[in-house]
Copies of this chain bind each other. A is one copy, B any other.
Amino acid sequence: MKKVTINSVAEYAGVSKKTVSRVLNNEPNVSPATREKVLKVFKELDYKPNPIARGLARNKSFIIGCLYDNPSKSYITRVQSGALEACHKFNYNLLIHPCELRGTELIENVGQLLTTSRLDGLVLTPPFSDSQELIDYLKKQDIPYARVASAIQDDSSISVRSNDEQGAFELTEHLISLGHKDIAFIKGHPDHSATEKRFSGYRNALMKHGIDFKAHLVAEGNFSYHSGADSAKEILDLDPMPTAVFASNDYMAAAVLKLATQRQLKVPQDISIAGFDNAPIARHIWPGLTTIAQPVEEMTRQAVEQLIMQISDPSTEVYQKVLEAKLITRESTAAR
């Protein structure tokens, strides 16, 4: 099977390759007759323009890169699916690139990525969306990027996040309204800005309702299930045991639930447990986890859509957006 290029199409149709290019890109100033003729040849030869050649000429690749370093597989797939939705809408594709925030090679690693594959833009998900070092680098390299769930204040770049603080506040109030006063808290990974946001939502709710904050009720997690299991042990070993646990994500909450169940504790009768994110696991276990639903897909979709807009027209105004997080109550929390 011989390769069909723009040249062969042009020759076959008896026009110049520039005219073929015009038809290809739906440019004006082609007579209907010619256009028709060329389109027919497209069909006849089954012509597919070479995206690489086009990329070289236009200096574009129509590929967006997605950077992440996150232990939650469901979070990652949600991010991907939001990003893909936006990409496909505009005929872009998505290249994924998990890498580690820590370690001196981050910049080098991303540099390598940009060297081996020219990307039109980058979506940064936590914790990268909070890495000032990375952002400075991208700015210097002049690579368009969009931040998802970032806490960095920067009006000159795209950012879509959800209201973590508000969500944590509401969830804590929910627990308080059920009569809980000793509410343990498991923090997330310190590199993620959401960690501090959720923590302060928790503290603010306590404060608003006149409940003293007790440092010994706070455990340090890192969003992984494993860290949740460690924190769970700390918390369930406390005497007196708190009546409720608020974990900064659902995986850690699931770990608490597992240990509690292993210890023959009844949830929610003996202890209430709540998570954050509304990951699939929150409804796959029994009792289902009360949690905060974050619109992860939607955040990413909007971020990528804005990113593509900005790529196609760099003069487009970029803006920052905050989406609402929503309380989902299930069976894991109850009045004490």
Contacts and interface: CB of A to CB of B under 8 A. Distances in A.
Contact of A95 (B91, B95, B255, B258): B95
A55 B116 CA distance: 10
B96 A80 contact: yes
A275 to B, nearest CB: 12
Contacts of A118: 50-52
Interface in A67-115: 73-74, 76-77, 80-81, 84, 91-98, 111, 113-115
Contacts of A77: 73, 76-77
A113 B93 contact: yes
**Copies of this subunit:** 2
A154 interface: no
B284 A251 contact: yes
A61 interface: yes
A93 B80 CA distance: 16
Contacts of A286: 257-258, 261-262
A56 interface: yes
A81 B98 contact: yes
A285 B258 CA distance: 6
Interface of A: 1, 48-53, 55-56, 59, 61-63, 73-74, 76-77, 80-81, 84, 91-98, 111, 113-118, 142, 225, 251, 254-255, 257-258, 261-262, 280-281, 284-286
